[in-house]
Chain A
Amino acid sequence: MKTSIFKNQDALAGLLFMGLGALGFAIALGYKFGTTIDMGPGYFPRILSLVLIGFGIVTFIKGLRTCMPVEGGWAWLPLLLLSASLLLFGFLLERVGLVPALAALFFVSARAGHEFKALEVLVLTAVMAVFAAAVFVWGLKLPYSLFAWNF
């Protein structure tokens, strides 16, 4: 059975490992290597990256031999939405306060789910906002304002 490399589970994983390893190695070239007796800051990262590349090659070859195809598609939208919701929360927390930031976090990340029920999310947001305010702001006295307007 012949599968294209871009559908091949292990080959893709191997490529990913090799890419990460190469990236790590390239960045680590900027750090002093030192010697084995006196290791510089670049010693461990470079060795690790090489090991990772090695594992990547092994996985890649294994993928070429087993040809396990990738199952299912890429869920780009949920991935994007979930990451975006976290970024949005971090961005909004200091600017409009905890409660609006939480609401944004919940609504955006709920959109990533298989079904979106506005009422459910609304209730969840309200309950979690009260919970977060009670625990983090009132209970633990973390320096976040509930509502704010700093731009």
Chain B
Amino acid sequence: MEIIDHFVLGFGVALSLQNLAYCFLGVLLGTLIGVLPGVGPLVTISMLLPITFGLPPVSAVIMLSGIYYGAQYGGSTTAILVNLPGETSSAVTCLDGYQMARRGRAGAALAIAALSPFVAGCIGTLLIVALGVPLASWALRFGAEDYFALMVLGLIAASVLSHGDMVKALAMVVVGLLIGLVGTDVNSGIERYTFGLPELADGIGFTVLILWSIGPIYWASPCSPSACSRSPRSSSTWSRRRRAKSSRKTSAV
């Protein structure tokens, strides 16, 4: 019954009016800033960190987690409305969220994007509380092989899930991996594909890649204005971004 005691203690702290207010403020700010494309939870937290300096530690942590969840949700807003993922994790939201928005169900899509993480977050928190200790010891055994397997799974899934030609999708995975190689090699410290430019030493950022791929959306702009040409093209750029991003992680291995 120890766990129940801990829950009661935790809720007693979290549910005070002051902490709830900080939580609300954090979510509000986090969502506002997280909406901006390319500004993910990490960036938002690091930008808003100074605000929490003056607070008592518990309130600060509560506000920061509010910012985190807000920013996470904010990223899905642009994904649904304009098919631009706010950060990597909401790239998947583009798939069906944007399609719903195109059919005039943007409100429903936004509501789902807000409610599903709430449910999942509650379940996840409960699981962490229950399984935290055994999971921690298991996670420590999660080694390089496991990360490798996970990444291969992600890359294969990216090409299988994207509709159209499998070979081309796999080839685009490889192109994304190559883009991810740009920058300093973590193992040897040698700069690869940087053409001697110091700006490229840190690799090519996700946002940069998004902005760059807006151009190609217009490449084939054939038929009549806007609508018809956009949808299939943008889905292909989506996969490109997504893969390039996943490849950035792979290149760190």
Contacts and interface: CB of A to CB of B under 8 A. Distances in A.
Contact of A75 (B165, B168, B175, B221): B221
A79 B233 CA distance: 14
Interface string A14-30: 00010011001001100
A78 B214 CA distance: 11
Interface stretch (B87-95, B140-148, B188-196): B188-196
A71 B168 contact: no
A143 interface: no
B168 A41 contact: no
Interface string A42-66: 0011001101100110110010000
B11 interface: no
A40 B187 CA distance: 8
Contact of B181 (A13, A44, A73): A44
A49 B221 CA distance: 30
Interface stretch (B74-82, B118-126, B222-230): B222-230
A129 interface: no
B205 to A, nearest CB: 13
B132 to A, nearest CB: 34
Candidate in B47, B216, B221, B226 with the most chain A CB atoms within 10 angstroms? B221
Contacts of A79: 215-216, 218-219
Contacts of A49: 178
A35 B220 CA distance: 43
A128 B154 CA distance: 37
Contacts of B175: 17, 20, 52
Given A28-B192, A45-B193, A62 B222 contact: no
A59 B168 contact: yes
B167 A58 contact: yes
Interface string B185-218: 1011010110000000000000000011011101
Contacts of B192: 27-28, 31, 41, 45
Interface residues of A, number: 40
B130 interface: no
Contacts of A86: 211-212
B177 A48 contact: yes
Interface size class of B (residues with CB under 8 A): 20 to 34
A82 B174 contact: no
B33 interface: yes
A27 to B, nearest CB: 6
B36 A135 contact: yes
B171 A59 contact: yes
A115 B221 CA distance: 13
A75 B220 contact: yes
Contacts of A135: 33, 36
A137 interface: no
B167 A73 contact: no
B75 to A, nearest CB: 16
B171 A17 contact: yes
A140 to B, nearest CB: 6
B86 to A, nearest CB: 14
Interface in B46-74: 47
Nearest to A89: B211
Given A41-B187, A48-B178, A72 B171 contact: no
Candidate in B192, B223, B225 with the most chain A CB atoms within 10 angstroms? B192
B106 interface: no
Contact of B178 (A52, A59, A74): A52
Given A49-B178, A75-B218, 17 more contacts: A27-B193, A41-B190, A44-B251, A51-B174, A52-B171, A52-B174, A55-B171, A55-B174, A58-B167, A59-B167, A62-B167, A71-B222, A74-B219, A78-B221, A79-B216, A83-B212, A140-B47
The 5 tightest CB contacts between A and B, nearest first, are A72-B222, A55-B171, A78-B218, A41-B190, A114-B225
